[in-house]
Amino acid sequence: MNKLLILLTTVPDKLLAEQIAKELIERKLSACISIKEIKSIYKWQENIEENKEFELTIKSLPENLNELTLILKEKITYEVPELIYKIFDSENSYFQWIKKSIN
């Protein structure tokens, strides 16, 4: 099977999102990263917060999960960074493109 890692995270500003995306691609830890501006509403320290954030959808291979997690924890300024991931099956031609881009 063609297994891909999809990792979601958020950062507070567009510049940081773009810096992280470019670094992960340059280091061949991701083939493609989508960045979306979102509005997040969440509970933090007993208060309901509303903030604009930037969500990164990082497409990679499962074997890169640990290194990606370490880098993101270092780069993201939040006290508790959002790091959500899942392994997905992929259509073969897209999987091959991801694999070729990373290796």
CA–CA separation, 25 and 77 (whole Å): 20
For 16-72, the pLDDT digits (tens) are 999 999 999 999 999 999 999 999 999 999 999 999 999 999 999 999 999 999 999
- The model carries a pTM of 0.93
- Give the domain ranges of the chain: 3-102
4: confidence class by pLDDT, cuts 50, 70, 90: very high
CA distances for 103 relative to 13, 15, 30, 60, 61, angstroms: 29, 27, 10, 11, 10
What architecture is the 3-102 domain classified under in CATH? 2-Layer Sandwich (3.30)
The band of 1, judged by pLDDT with boundaries at 50, 70 and 90, is confident
